[in-house]
Copies of this chain bind each other. A is one copy, B any other.
Amino acid sequence: MNDRMSDRINETHDPRLRSWVSSANAPDQDFPIQNLPLGLFRPAGRAIEYRGGAAIGDQVLDLKAACERGVFAGPAREAALLAAGSSLRDLMAAGPAAAAALRRALSGLLREGAAQQPTLESALVPRSAIELALPAQIGDYTDFYTSIHHATAVGRLFRPDHPLLPNYRWLPVGYHGRSSSIAVSGQQFARPIGQRPPAAPGGQPSVGASERLDYELELGVFIGAGNVLGERIGIDAADGHIFGLCLLNDWSARDLQAWEYQPLGPFLGKNFATTISPWVVSLEALEPFRTEWVRAADDVQPLPYLDSASVRRSGAIDIQLEAWIETAAMRAAGEAPTRLSRSSFRHAYWNLAQMLAHHTINGCNLRPGDLLGTGTQSGPEAAEAGSLLELSRGGKHPVSLPDGEQRRFLEDGDEIILRGHCHRQGAVRIGFGEARGRVLPAAI
């Protein structure tokens, strides 16, 4: 941890903090009092409005109920009221000071010895007894391509001679995705149907269910305060426009995509489903896990609008990412999911601040609740690949699962579970929960 980072470390990060919600003090779980991610939930099976909540251990603090109990004051009260409604959008729009005030208040209210414990115990709901929704209506969804290892591995399948295109090292490549088909963990979707490439050049495409369905292990970034159309977000101001991060599975039908994507990019190969984890982890909670962002001296150096001393000092975040699979056979046999791969966001060639600075260099406006994807986070090692396309090297080398099954691509009934967490000596481990999604048979 360097000087600048320690400026941003405050009492909410104190590793000695413990919560009166005892499950939050267990080791190796995702939601200690140092995390306090926000989401939108309601008690399971009750057709009432969703409302904001903070995950703490195996519980959720109902922010509407907490507001009604009068436990907040000042800016934290304003922020809690914004989060107590049926969307986190208004809190996102209020900017980082509001979110920080709420975090600080929650940290005080939930820590051991807090006078408000008796008042707040009835505002807790077990996480096992809730339903979750998207934190906000997502306006625009942009997906980036920030892992050079992923870009190179995928590029090699299409262009063995020059896997990485000339623009890659100069700009964070991004494109617009579909917001209507984004859902939280638990999403199930039918295998998409579409045009699959002709067997030989000049031939006729076939129409049918995708035979090369894949997952992509990504992070999602919720925009907080937006920018006005025509105004740029400078690289050093970028963090102030980020509300927080989640896990994101950018399901991809490789065969549909390969046939359709020239010259205007992915479309039906991607827009049938995208699954995110429901709990948004704030940048503030991630501060202890920031690390240097390095561009090798013999590599292309970022252009000025994508560069800054402070971003180089702490622009990377060491978020451990994992993809797990539970096949139908494993589920039937009562076997636990098995891990396909793990990587870290610290390997990303482009960081969060660069994504925002680039996105707005032309004046494009970001709005509260907009979502950015980081692109598949593959690490430098082959085993750190964030998709089956890479793990199976284009479907040529099947991946073996512990129960004897093999996977080139996803089969019907497969459930993919993305997980993420941060840990470091001297800090309390925080996690992202899960983004879980299942492939159903095609609806022919």
Contact = CB atoms under 8 A, between A and B. Distances in A.
B363 A272 contact: yes
Interface in A148-168: 155, 158, 165-167
Contact of A304 (B207, B273, B365): B207
Contact of A363 (B230, B303, B443): B443
Contact of A205 (B170, B189, B304): B170
Interface in A377-419: none
Interface residues of A, number: 67
A201 to B, nearest CB: 7
Interface string A157-189: 010000001110011011111111101000001
A361 interface: yes
13 contacts: A139-B179, A165-B263, A167-B259, A167-B262, A170-B205, A173-B260, A175-B266, A192-B362, A195-B303, A229-B272, A261-B265, A263-B265, A264-B265
A367 interface: yes
A282 B359 CA distance: 35
A166 B363 contact: no
Q: How many copies of this protein are present in the complex?
A: 2
B193 A363 contact: yes
A158 to B, nearest CB: 8
Given A170-B205, A268-B362, A363-B443, 10 more contacts: A142-B267, A167-B262, A175-B175, A175-B267, A176-B265, A180-B370, A189-B363, A190-B230, A256-B362, A271-B364
Nearest to A204: B170
A367 B173 CA distance: 28
A267 B167 contact: no
A366 interface: yes
Contacts of A170: 195, 204-205
Interface string A97-134: 00000000000000000000000000000000000000
A377 to B, nearest CB: 16
Contacts of A359: 268
Nearest to A266: B264
A362 B271 contact: yes
Contacts of A171: 195, 205, 259-260
Given A165-B262, A170-B205, A305-B207, A361 B176 contact: no
A180 B139 contact: yes
What 3 pairs between A and B have smallest CB-CB spacing?
A265-B265, A192-B362, A176-B176
A285 B145 CA distance: 44
